[in-house]
Structure 1
Amino acid sequence: MAFSNKSSYILRVTLLLVVSLVICEGRYPSSFNKRGFVTTRGTLFVLNESPFLFNGFNSYWMMHVAAEPSERYKVSNVFRDAIAAGLSVCRTWAFADGGDHALQMSPGVYDERVFQGLDFVISEARKYGIRLILSLVNNYNDFGGRPQYVSWAKNAGIQGDDDDDFYTSPIIKQYYKDHVKSVLTRYNTITGVGYKDDSTIMAWELINEPRCKADYSGRMINGWVQEMASYVKSIDSNHLLEVGMEGFYGDSMPEKKQNNPGYQVGTDFIANNLIKEIDFATIHAYPDIWLSGQSDHSQMHFMQRWMTSHWMDSRTILKKPLVFAEFGKSSKDAGYTVSARDTFMSTVYRSIHNFAKSGGGFGGGLLWQLMGEGMEAYHDGYEIVLSKTPSTSALILGQSKKMTLLAHVLSRP
Structure 2
Amino acid sequence: METVFKGRARARVSLIHFFVRRFAVAVAAIFLLTDGRHAHVDLAPVEILGGADVDTLAQRPNVNGASSSEVIADEQWRMVKTRGNQFVVGDRPFYVNGFNAYWLMILAVDPSTRGKVTEVFQQAAAVGLTVCRTWAFNDGGWRALQKSPSVYDEDVFKALDFVASEARKYRIKLILSLINNWDGYGGKAQYVKWARDDGGLNFTSDDDFFSDQTVKGYFKNHVKNMLTRVNTYTSVMYKDDPTILAWELMNEPRCTSDPTGNKLQEWIQEMAFHVKSIDPDHLVEVGAEGFYGPSSPARLPANPNTYAGQVGTDFIRNHRVLGVDFASVHIYPDTWMSGATLEAQLQFVASWMEAHIADAEGTLGGMPVVFTEFGASTKARKSGGFNATTRDQLIQAVYGQLLDSTRRGGAGAGALLWQVFPEGTDYMDDGYGVVLPRAAATARIMSTHSKELAVFNSRCAWSCRWGCRREQQSEDVDDDMPFVSRMNLA
2:457: which partner in 1?
Answer: 407
Shift of 1:405: 1.1
Shift of 1:34: 9.5
Shift of 1:53: 0.7
Deviations 1:373-401 (A, max 9, x none): 11122110000000101111001001111
Cα distance in 1 for residues equivalent to 2:75 and 2:146:
30
Matches within 5 A, 1:385-400: 385-400=435-450
Identify the match of residue 124 of structure 1 among 152, 157, 166: 166
Identify the match of residue 90 of structure 2 among 48, 55, 69: 48
SS in 2 for 1:97: coil
Question: Are the aligned partners of 2:334 and 2:386 in contact in 1 as well (CA < 8 Å)?
Answer: no
Kindly indicate whether residue 357 of structure 2 is the aligned counterpart of residue 314 of structure 1: no
| One-letter code aligned to 1:240 | L
Name stretches of at least 5 consecutive residues in structure 1 with no aligned partner: 1-25
Question: Are the aligned partners of 1:54 and 1:404 in contact in 2 as well (CA < 8 Å)?
Answer: no
Deviations 1:107-135 (A, max 9, x none): 11000010000000000001111000000
Matches within 5 A, 1:10-49: 36-49=78-91
Identify the match of residue 239 of structure 1 among 282, 304, 329: 282
Higher mean C-alpha deviation, range 63-72 or range 74-83: 63-72
Higher share of residues assigned helix? 1
Higher mean C-alpha deviation, range 249-258 or range 80-89: 249-258
Kindly indicate whether residue 324 of structure 2 is the aligned counterpart of residue 281 of structure 1: no
Q: Across the two proteins, how many residue pairs are aligned to each other?
A: 386
Identify the match of residue 219 of structure 1 among 238, 262, 272: 262
SS in 2 for 1:36: coil
Note closer, same or farther for the CA distance 1:35–1:380 as it changes in structure 2 (3 Å cut): closer
1:110: which partner in 2?
Answer: 152
Kindly indicate whether residue 134 of structure 2 is the aligned counterpart of residue 62 of structure 1: no
TM-score (norm 1): 0.91
Higher mean C-alpha deviation, range 259-268 or range 146-155: 259-268
Note closer, same or farther for the CA distance 1:249–1:371 as it changes in structure 2 (3 Å cut): same
Q: Sequence identity of aligned pairs in percent?
A: 49
| One-letter code aligned to 1:66 | A
Cα distance in 2 for residues equivalent to 1:104 and 1:160:
22
Shift of 1:35: 7.3
Runs of 4+ in structure 1 over 6 Å off: none
Cα distance in 2 for residues equivalent to 1:399 and 1:325:
16
Cα distance in 1 for residues equivalent to 2:77 and 2:341:
47
Note closer, same or farther for the CA distance 1:150–1:77 as it changes in structure 2 (3 Å cut): same
SS in 2 for 1:241: strand
Kindly indicate whether residue 223 of structure 2 is the aligned counterpart of residue 180 of structure 1: yes
| One-letter code aligned to 1:324 | F
Shift of 1:70: 2.4
Name stretches of at least 5 consecutive residues in structure 2 with no aligned partner: 1-70, 460-483
Identify the match of residue 372 of structure 1 among 405, 411, 422: 422
1:15: which partner in 2?
Answer: none
Cα distance in 2 for residues equivalent to 1:224 and 1:383:
32
Shift of 1:357: 1.6
Note closer, same or farther for the CA distance 1:55–1:177 as it changes in structure 2 (3 Å cut): same
Kindly indicate whether residue 241 of structure 2 is the aligned counterpart of residue 198 of structure 1: yes
Kindly indicate whether residue 316 of structure 2 is the aligned counterpart of residue 267 of structure 1: no
Identify the match of residue 381 of structure 1 among 407, 423, 431: 431
2:343: which partner in 1?
Answer: 297
1:136: which partner in 2?
Answer: 178
Higher mean C-alpha deviation, range 42-51 or range 399-408: 399-408
Question: Are the aligned partners of 1:33 and 1:199 in contact in 2 as well (CA < 8 Å)?
Answer: no
Shift of 1:84: 0.4
Kindly indicate whether residue 370 of structure 2 is the aligned counterpart of residue 340 of structure 1: no
Cα distance in 1 for residues equivalent to 2:427 and 2:181:
22
Cα distance in 2 for residues equivalent to 1:69 and 1:257:
48
| One-letter code aligned to 1:300 | L
Shift of 1:359: 3.1
Cα distance in 2 for residues equivalent to 1:219 and 1:209:
16
Kindly indicate whether residue 386 of structure 2 is the aligned counterpart of residue 328 of structure 1: no
